[in-house]
A and B are shown apart, each in its own frame.
Chain A
Amino acid sequence: MKKRIFIGEETAKGYTRREFLKYLELAGISVTIGGAGFFAGCSNKVDSLAGAKEFITRCGLCGSDCGMKTYIKNDRIVAVVPNKDDPNSKGFMCDMGLANVEQTYSPDRILNPGKRVGDKWVDISWDEALNIISEKLSKLKIDYGPQSTVCHYGVTEVRAPFYRQLFRRFSNVYGTPNFTGCGSQCAVSTMMAKKYSIGSVHPDYENTKCMVQWGSNPSSSSLLEWFSKVLPARERGAKLICIDPRANPMTQMADIHLKPRPGTDGVLALAMTNIILGNNLYHTDIAEKYGVGFSEYEELVKKYKPELAETITGIPAKDIINATMMYAENSPACIETGNALELHINGVQTIRSVMLIQALCGNVNVKGGMISSGEKVRLTDMELDDYKPFTSKGYSADRYPVLWQSRKMVTANLLPDTVLTGKPYPVKALMVIGGNPIVTGPNSSHQRKAYKKMDLVVVYDLFMTETAKMADIFLPATSCLERDNIKIRDRIYISPKVIPEQGNAWPEWKLWFELAKKMGYEKEFPWATLDEAIDEHLSPINITAADLRENFNGIDHPLKSGNMKELEEKIKTPSGKIEFHSQTLADAGYNPLPDYVEPYEGPADKKLLAKYPLLMTSGIRIPYYIHSQFRNLASLKAKSPGPVIEMNPADASSLGISEGNNVSISSLRGSIQAKAQLNKSLKSGIVAMSHGWSKSNVNELTDDSAQSLDPISSFPGYRGFLCKVEKV
């Protein structure tokens, strides 16, 4: 008889040991399964961030330098997040910064130098590439002189100014006067306008009571500034006046939104000045004691009554008056202008007139108005500005004398003319470093013709851009996460690279060091490492690159010794006073007063208006792209998939166009296609488009003829030219 185990009960029935064990086993299994399942269910499957090391750096895609935390595993970035502890950006990062990783590892990246043979690209080594370039440049220098080579820097070099300085050093040592770049269509016009009016100052958002954003849309273009300066000012209660023909995220929260016809901002500014002077809202002592040419200016402004401004700009006179009163009565106030004002034939003068309003209302060099950063100690000149006098002037030096004298730069906008006509002298070679002028420069077809004619075109970029396609030699660039970036501003800091250079890509400094060696410029480029060059640059203030690497947050750029107050209040114009009348401009043959002239192609030209009835403002900003960059990054493309032309709904319906239709847009220069998008905020007769698309390139429509460019700055009239739109 089997032994039975009795479990606490007096019955004849019990369990055999076998049965008992069986039941125990079953119970045990069920508990195990249950327990395991429970714990399995509890854990969160996490993504591949585990085991990654954290490196802190800054994004280098724009000037904001937002703090960034990168997670690196096996020398590969697995994630990027904004750095909450960065004192500057405080955890802000835009979508582009987060797409940095996508760009760095994009399969479209070219990671090896290439030489174009016919239509095909052949991989070559850096040695061979540099040999070709140095031989060619040396030969051209002998045959045509160094001025036959043009050096062009793109906006990526503006983000890495130290490397641009090395580029200029190379070009100065080589001897070409023809240094140009995106400064032919951005920022330089404002700098000149400020220099010849109120000096180099910027808005003090922290303390201002009223902000005017004039042709400026930081909510789409200067995102950190929007988030960390403009928005807090608004939240603090500062008034906001927006002057923009189109609504944007910022205008939604404006107190007053004025919509002038594109290109007529000068009239608006002069009308506002008229109102201020007419109502005695200005500081007479500033005008008369610290100003040059005030009485002439007063005379000029008399005819710009608000009613006249209304007929030209399309803004009701009472709105102009309201805006002016709001500005004048809420002191201290500041005005920020954007690239939009620069891109007309009247750019410099318009911005001058805008800036002078501020002087009149006592908002220059005051807290809460426009302030200067004071004068900093000068660092070693890395560009070798005074290396040797140029054997020839820049090719546009005569036409744009102020541009030439103030910045020793020529205009990229006249490059095609120069190359194709051979005047004033032949130009045979072009080096484009980190830029894409075929897409972002005016009159793309004209540029292509010029590129075809040149003997040598060298392009340094990450991708095969439209400009790169026309190159003879392609040099692979590093993304900003693969190179150290030094910035010199109020603080000096290095944003370190976090991964090694991908493939055969080289950072700019290496390109210049090695190319210099090939050209025999070892004396001028004596450094073995980047840090040595940085050390030389910073030697006047006794800081080394090693110091900067230890102090991630950087070191203050010391101010020049001297009377602080004096330095802060110094007006940085040539005369040291507010220049209503600019002698520099007068000497160069320009109007010394900021009078208004009609934009080049505008409704004033009745004949043209009949054929091309719509006024296009091109170059509206999208917060996911910088000019022509990032179009190939999926995460950004998903947010802004393709080029659109924004139209007033009434205009669209009168042309039989509805939302999403394919339309063709043509100007005197050419024609492109895009999808139509209806935008109620645009006034009738105005259309708007973004730039930078290689397939629907709005610069096929823009003009680069000399008479269409701003005579002072040479900037093209992107923001106002006539076009017509038809349904396809």
Chain B
Amino acid sequence: MKRSEKKNLKILPLRRISQISIILLIIAVPLYSQNPYNGSPSLIVKGQLPPPAISKVSGDTWSFSIGNFSIIHPTAFFDFVFSAKSVSSSMLIAVLIPLLITLLFGRVFCSWLCPIGFILELTTKINAFLKKKGLTREIRIKNFRFVILATSLITAFLFGFPVISIFDPSHLLGREFSMIFTHQEVSVAGLIFLLAILVFEILFVSRAWCRYFCPSGACLSLIGVNRIYKIRTDQKECVSCNLCRSVCPYNLEPDKIVNYTTLQSAVCDNCGLCRDSCPKGAISYNLCFDK
């Protein structure tokens, strides 16, 4: 296919569909598995039980299964391994596909599947809007991702409980939905945490969580450091309009990319915004087996 035709195929709609599907999924899955018959014992005539609600699908972005087929987030896997100091064959099988995908494509989870990623993209727009009104403040934040990841895993190892599984916000969101629909309960601590992230992002730095704090993202970055499906810029077509730089959520410089440095490679999540924004179609996805 000629490159000029390729330019008409935008990645963004596909990605949006993927992200919205995930959001719908993490709402629909607990919805379908809920049983509305909780309550009075007198509804249960002697010997009769409330009708069961069985759903073959369960889980959220942390760990998901349809029937006997299950997949697990690589960070969840490592969190577990460090805290329980053991691993089962079913877990190995479950982490296989996400691991492979991350190895090959990098941290695509963050841009294609993560519900927090989607929400934070929306808050990015709000932040940009407020920025124009001058209501935001810029804060310089150091990159704490790997520190948080390392600390969490060491804590998990030393104290024997999986730390990241407790506070990872994509998992937190899925869990909140699960708790709301099954028991009409909500974790206030979790909500406060999520809201804090949102408020921080709206008022201060956009995608701060994904860029500077998320340990899951850090773990995926590490795994996907040598991915093969990367952004490539054709320098011949590039006109240095800097549009790609302005849309990149991570403030990377796609126009400079011919070869990636490790760090840049680790940070990019293949969201395709730069590709979509390039008026000349200079940026594209490519299978690059070279470094």
**Chains A and B touch (C-beta atoms under 8 A apart):** yes
Task: Tell whether, in the assembled complex, residue B273 and residue A13 are in contact, meaning their CB atoms are under 8 Å apart.
Answer: yes
When each residue 15-45 of chain A gets 1 if its CB lies under 8 Å from chain B and 0 otherwise, what string results? 0000100010011011001100110111111
Task: Tell whether, in the assembled complex, residue B277 and residue A41 are in contact, meaning their CB atoms are under 8 Å apart.
Answer: no
Interface locus among B22-30, B74-82, B145-153: B22-30
Task: Tell whether, in the assembled complex, residue A42 and residue B184 are in contact, meaning their CB atoms are under 8 Å apart.
Answer: yes
Interface locus among A3-11, A53-61, A327-335, A460-468: A3-11
Residue of B nearest to A47 (CB): B43
For residue A46, CB closer than 8 A to chain B, the reply is yes
For residue B12, CB closer than 8 A to chain A, the reply is yes
Contacts of A12 in B (CB 8 A): 243, 277, 279
Task: Tell whether, in the assembled complex, residue A38 and residue B181 are in contact, meaning their CB atoms are under 8 Å apart.
Answer: yes
Within 24-40 of B, Cβ neighbours of A (below 8 Å) are at 24, 27-28, 31, 34, 36-40
Task: Tell whether, in the assembled complex, residue B31 and residue A37 are in contact, meaning their CB atoms are under 8 Å apart.
Answer: yes
When each residue 472-484 of chain A gets 1 if its CB lies under 8 Å from chain B and 0 otherwise, what string results? 0000000000000
Task: Tell whether, in the assembled complex, residue A13 and residue B247 are in contact, meaning their CB atoms are under 8 Å apart.
Answer: yes
Bound state CA distance, A41 and B37, in angstroms? 8
Task: Tell whether, in the assembled complex, residue B27 and residue A33 are in contact, meaning their CB atoms are under 8 Å apart.
Answer: yes
Nearest CB on A from B102, distance (A): 27
Task: Tell whether, in the assembled complex, residue A26 and residue B20 are in contact, meaning their CB atoms are under 8 Å apart.
Answer: yes
Contacts of A8 in B (CB 8 A): 125-126, 128-129, 132
Bound state CA distance, A625 and B242, in angstroms? 91
Residue of A nearest to B125 (CB): A8
Task: Tell whether, in the assembled complex, residue B125 and residue A9 are in contact, meaning their CB atoms are under 8 Å apart.
Answer: yes
Task: Tell whether, in the assembled complex, residue A13 and residue B181 are in contact, meaning their CB atoms are under 8 Å apart.
Answer: no
Contacts of B261 in A (CB 8 A): none
Contacts of B20 in A (CB 8 A): 23, 26-27, 30
Task: Tell whether, in the assembled complex, residue B40 and residue A44 are in contact, meaning their CB atoms are under 8 Å apart.
Answer: yes
Bound state CA distance, A41 and B178, in angstroms? 12
For residue A635, CB closer than 8 A to chain B, the reply is yes
Interface of B is mostly: helix
Contacts of A23 in B (CB 8 A): 16, 20
Number of A-B contacts (CB under 8 A): 71
When each residue 119-133 of chain B gets 1 if its CB lies under 8 Å from chain A and 0 otherwise, what string results? 000000110110010
For residue B276, CB closer than 8 A to chain A, the reply is yes
For residue B180, CB closer than 8 A to chain A, the reply is yes
Nearest CB on A from B241, distance (A): 9
Residue of A nearest to B51 (CB): A45
Contacts of B90 in A (CB 8 A): none
Residue of A nearest to B182 (CB): A41
Within 230-274 of B, Cβ neighbours of A (below 8 Å) are at 243, 246-247, 273
When each residue 159-187 of chain B gets 1 if its CB lies under 8 Å from chain A and 0 otherwise, what string results? 00000000000000000010011101000
Bound state CA distance, A37 and B38, in angstroms? 15
Residue of A nearest to B183 (CB): A41
Bound state CA distance, A37 and B26, in angstroms? 13
For residue B46, CB closer than 8 A to chain A, the reply is yes
Chain A residues engaging chain B, CB cutoff 8 angstroms: 7-13, 19, 23, 26-27, 29-30, 33-34, 37-38, 40-47, 635, 638
With A12-B279, A37-B34, A46-B43 given, name 19 new contacts (CB 8 A): A8-B128, A8-B129, A8-B132, A13-B273, A27-B20, A29-B24, A30-B20, A30-B24, A37-B31, A40-B36, A41-B31, A41-B36, A41-B181, A41-B182, A44-B39, A45-B36, A47-B43, A635-B46, A638-B46
